[in-house]
Amino acid sequence: RGVGAALLEDNELVEKLLWGSESSFSYKPSDNVVTQPLVTGTDCVLTAAVQTRKKSRAVYAGSTEMFQDEMMDSAGGDHRRFVFSLLTWTLGSKGLLRADKIRWNRVGEEDQK
């Protein structure tokens, strides 16, 4: 009930987060299943994340169903935690570094107090 994607292997900005098992496949429902599926096995990516060099973030989700209340209720706590982590990272509320009270001094000098 979703779309599996095939990702380019040489893209260092994209990270596979959730992918299919060895027996999974993705195809057009209108096609006959005996034809070659679009993507198969662990190459069938269900969720992926990208962060650009300018720190913009985006997520590919093969189905919007994973965000629905019904799925949250039926799939359990691990699913809920995964989706919450995914959304907070995408919106920039998680995975950020913050520097606080930084002090600089020349080599050999005492730290400024």
DSSP-assigned letters across all residues of the chain: ----B---TT-TTEEEEEE--TT-EE--TTS-TTSPPSEEGGG-EEEEEEE-TT--EEEEES-GGGGSHHHHHHH-HHHHHHHHHHHHHHTTSSS-----S-----TTSPPP-
pTM: 0.68
Low-confidence ranges of the chain (pLDDT < 50): none
pLDDT tens for 54-83 read 988 999 998 888 888 888 888 888 888 888
pLDDT at site 80: 87
